[in-house]
Each structure stands twice: as C-alpha cells, then as structure tokens.
Chains A and B, each alone.
Chain A
C-alpha cells in the first residue's frame, strides 16, 4: 500500500559515489546547487546535464529512479514553465493572439527555470539515493561541529535526525500493517467526503501514536541502559575518512562550477 515513496530513499548498491565521504557529498551537492544557480546559458545547462548523467552512471542508480523523484514536483515545474512563458515580456515577439503574448525571452526563461528546478531536485535526490540516512546525518553533524563552539547542539540535532530518519520506514511499515488490520475489520480509508475520511483515520492514528510513544519509550530506555548521555567524549564506530576519490570528485565538481562561471562571463549574450 505504501511502497511508492522515493523522495529521500536510499538505493542500496555499491558504487564509487556511494563510497564517497558523506561530508564531501554534502559539500559537492552545495557546490552543484551553486553551479545550477550560476548557469545562465545553454552551454551551462548542457554541462550540468552532462554532469548529472555522469554522476548517475557512476552511482549505478537507474536514471528512471532519479526521474521518479521528480514526480511529486511535476505540478510546480509545469506551473513555473507556464508562468514564465506567458508573463515574461521581451523584445522578440513570437506568438500573439487574444491576450496571449509569447516572447522568445519568455520561452527561454521558462525552459531554463524549469530545467533549473529539475536539476536541483535530481542533484539532491542523487545525494539521498547514494547516502544512507545515518551516514548523511553523521556528515551533517561533522560539518556543523565547528558551531559547537558557540553552544550550538550539533550532536543532539544530528542524533534526533538520525532517530527520526531511522524510524520513518518502521512507522511506515507499522502504518501499513495497522491499515491492513483495520481494513480486514471492514474499515474504509478510501471513500466518502473529507469529514468521513478524517474520521476513518482515527482507527489508524490512535494505534500508530500509541506504538510510536511505546517505541520512543523503549528506545530511550535502551539508550540509557547503554549509558548514552549525549555527545561529550563519545567516539564513533565508523570514523569518516576522506579518500583520494573524494578529492577527485571535489575536483570534478569545482571544475564544473568554474566552467559555468567562465561560461557566464565569456559566453553570456553570445548564444542568446
């Protein structure tokens, strides 16, 4: 029933990209996002697309899965496209009938803005597809740890995130199970108006909350009985290490950013 949620779902295969240091992958993603926003011409978008293809190939994640992550955003992308297409004015009028005016500039902007959205989502889902949630929050903790100096609770935040992420599949599974059990007792979650449906959720939500609280209590007990008391002096089972591949990847992405900046300076206005 609930097995079609891809956003932020880890795709467990072994690849060069999967083995990269999560800290590095976070930095790479940030650089990639900057590159997407710096790109203003056709050449830049081709470079970005080429990079995405390359990264996807290296990560052994099927391209289809990357596209699947775009599905929840398709309405926003279409809306962006249409708004830019119809409401951008320029000099080169292409189509004009009734109150609709489509300019060449408008069309270009529509294409670029939609592509930008698509690249952003695809790039970030590549990060979540190749990095397990635990590794990801480890990476975030390490990147934020300089902030501990100003008493920012980096460790606690990362631990909360890890736990939350860890329990998403568990709670989904639980939801699925309770839903099935209530369906077997004749519950109907799919028909009726909004009020009827909201009421039908009660037999699902009450057991789900009860079990979430029970799990939280159990987990707290288990952590305390193993002497967990926060970040102070805690060592790690898996120490993050950067390898040669991490630096190569950083080189590639920095090169991408540099090319896009250069292309923005020298080619802007040449093609459009």
Chain B
C-alpha cells in the first residue's frame, strides 16, 4: 500500500489573527514495506503531516492519495481507509478508557465489525506483538499499569486493527531507556516479520539510526531533505541548521576524524564504528610491531 502526498499545504485558523502555516507545499511518497523516519524540530509540522495520512485533518490545499485513491475525494469511505492506516498519537496512553486491557485493545477490531473469535485472536496477536503476556495482563485495568506498559497497550490497540501502514508519532517520548528499548525492538520486529510499512516521527536521532530505512527531515513546514540515514546523517551542518543533531555515533565519528583518525565520513551505527575502530587499532599495533622489527637496536 503506497501513500502519495501532492503539494500539501495546511493552515491553522485561516482568516484570523492566529493564522499559522503548519505545512507548505509538501510532496512525498511512502513506499510499501519501508521504515520511514520523519524528523524535525518542535513545530516543524511533523504531527500535522501524519494526521493528514489517514484523513484526520483535511488539507487546506493539495491531495493525499492512498493506492491512487484521493483520501479527501467525495465518494471515498474514509473509515475503511483509516482502518488500513493505523495512527498512534503522541502519548497514546491518555486515550485508554476500558475496564480491562483486553477490552481496550478490542475497541479497534470491534469497530471493524469482526466476530468475537476474530477479535479475541487479534487481541492475543497484538499483545504478543507488544510483548505483553496475555495471561498476566489481559484482565487487568489499563490504569494500574506503568507508563511504558500503558503505552504498549495503546499501541497494541492500533496494531490489533492489522493496518498495512503503521504511523507512530513520537512513540518513545517520555519513556525510560528500558521502556524505549522495548518499543523500538517491538517495532523492529513488526517491520521485519510482518512486513508492515512503518512511519515513525521522532526527534531522537539514535532511534532513527537504529530503525529507519529512509529519512525525511522537516523544517518550518517544508521538507528540507530526504534520503537514507547514511546520506542524511553525513550532512551534519544541514542537520544543525534544522535545529537537529546527528546520532551520537555520527558525532563521535566526526570528532575522531577531526583529530586525524582515518574513518569514513558516513558512519552512524554503533556496530559499524566499532568495526572501524577495531580495524584501526589492529593496523596501528601491526605498524608498531613492524616498526620495532625494523629498528636497528
């Protein structure tokens, strides 16, 4: 399932003193099966952009096409399209409302009109995806869980609808490192095993370095750059001008390069850097050894 956005502009409070342009002439496509990262400073229009992807916001001008179909066209069943594009909002744990975890996760599938058995199967599947034990948690109240667990329940509520595209707006915001790691590894698994197309909004460059197959950098309502993480993260100056940084690995790598170490300019994953540094270390030792052998003493 592909999503195409053409010349999308969105203005809040049009025609009043509070008028703000949130998005300006944005064009992009989301390919089937990719893990797209959208990064940008606060107020750069990321959240506004993702809300257009399933028709929750209507463009001021421009179009959104889902598999070639105009999302805001006249005879489009937006509810049906919405179910194929799951959107997880920022702080989704604040949308929980049911008495038990299982019932809350079942809300989406129930709205899809599935049978009781199907719903139950979906709930088990979704809880499995987010690494919550069905036996242990399904009958508990979502309000007595920890923040990270609540968030996973909320994400499960969207996964249970089995969307072909899963969009997450800052899924790791405000979580401790362990909660964050859980969510990220869960997304990684979902992308690798279920081949779900994932769009993730974040300003954590390290999260993006770990997961994204492609990145879009946004600034002031416009797309500043797009490319693979390797392409994007090697342009440290551009990232700084957008009010962003680069992953810790990339910045460490550029510091080392400035000190004269022979490293490639586009490293951004911890494993890569480790390999290169070990290589340098070995070479250095070899040189030292050969130097000793060649010395006259």
Q: Which residues of A contact B (CB under 8 A)?
A: 3, 11-13, 65, 174, 177-178, 180-188, 202-203, 206-207, 210-211
- 0/1 per residue, B66-110, Cβ < 8 Å to A? 000000000000010011001101001011110000000001100
- The answer to whether B95 and A178 have CB atoms under 8 Å apart is yes
Supply 17 A–B pairs (Cβ within 8 Å), ascending by A. Answer: A3-B12, A3-B13, A13-B17, A65-B16, A174-B94, A180-B51, A180-B56, A181-B89, A184-B56, A184-B89, A185-B111, A186-B112, A188-B111, A203-B97, A207-B94, A210-B97, A210-B143
Chain B interface size range = 20 to 34
Of A11, A174, A177, A206, the residue contacting B17 (CB under 8 A) is A11
Interface assignment of B39: CB less than 8 Å from any CB of chain A: no
Q: Is B157 an interface residue (CB 8 A)?
A: yes
Which residues from chain B contact A180 at a C-beta distance below 8 Å?
51, 56, 89
Considering the complex, give the chain A residue whose CB is closest to the CB of B154: A181
A185 near B157 (CB under 8 angstroms)? yes
From DSSP, what is the main secondary structure of chain A's interface residues? helix
- Could you list which residues of chain B lie within 8 angstroms of chain A, going by C-beta atoms? 12-13, 16-18, 51, 54, 56, 79, 82-83, 86-87, 89, 92, 94-97, 107-108, 111-112, 143, 157-158, 161
Which B residue's beta carbon lies closest to that of A202?
B97
For B157, list chain A residues within 8 Å (CB): 185
- Which of B82, B92, B97 is close to A186, meaning CB atoms less than 8 Å apart? B82
Per the bound structure, the CA–CA distance linking A153 and B271 in Å amounts to: 66
Chain B residues contacting A207 (CB-CB under 8 Å) are 94-97
Cα of A203 to Cα of B16 in the assembled complex, Å: 32
User: Which has the most chain B C-beta neighbours within 10 Å: A12, A177, A184, A188?
Assistant: A184
Question: B161 near A185 (CB under 8 angstroms)?
Answer: yes
In the bound complex, residues from chain B placing their C-beta under 8 Å from that of A12 are 17-18
Partner of B79, one of A174, A177, A186, A206: A186
Bound together, the chains give a CA A180 to CA B96 distance in angstroms of: 13
Is the pair B17, A184 in contact by a Cβ cutoff of 8 Å?
A: no
A5 to chain B, nearest CB (A): 12
Contact A186 B89 (CB under 8 A): no
Task: Assess A186 versus B161: contact at CB under 8 Å? Given A12-B17, A177-B89, A180-B51.
Answer: yes
Point out the residues of chain A lying under 8 angstroms from B108, CB to CB.
185-186
> Do B111 and A184 touch across chains, with their CB atoms under 8 A apart?
no
Minimum CB–CB distance from B145 to chain A (whole Å) comes to 13
Asked if A181 and B92 make an inter-chain contact with CB atoms under 8 angstroms apart, the answer reads: yes
CA–CA, A203 to B103, complex, Å? 12
Question: CA separation between A183 and B158, bound complex, in Å?
Answer: 11
Q: How far is the CA of A186 from the CA of B51 in the complex (A)?
A: 14
A214 to chain B, nearest CB (A): 9
Closest CB of chain B to A6's CB: distance in Å?
Answer: 10
Residues from chain A with a CB closer than 8 A to the CB of B161 are: 185-186
By the criterion CB–CB under 8 Å, are B143 and A184 in contact?
no
Q: How far is the CB of B137 from chain A (nearest CB, A)?
A: 19
CB distance from A170 to the nearest CB of B (A): 13
B12 surroundings in chain A (CB, below 8 A): 3
Closest 3 CB pairs of A and B: A186-B111, A206-B97, A181-B95
In the complex, A12→B16 CA distance in Å? 10
| A186: B residues at CB distance < 8 A | 79, 82-83, 107-108, 111-112, 161
State the CA gap A53–B71 with chains docked (Å).
Answer: 44
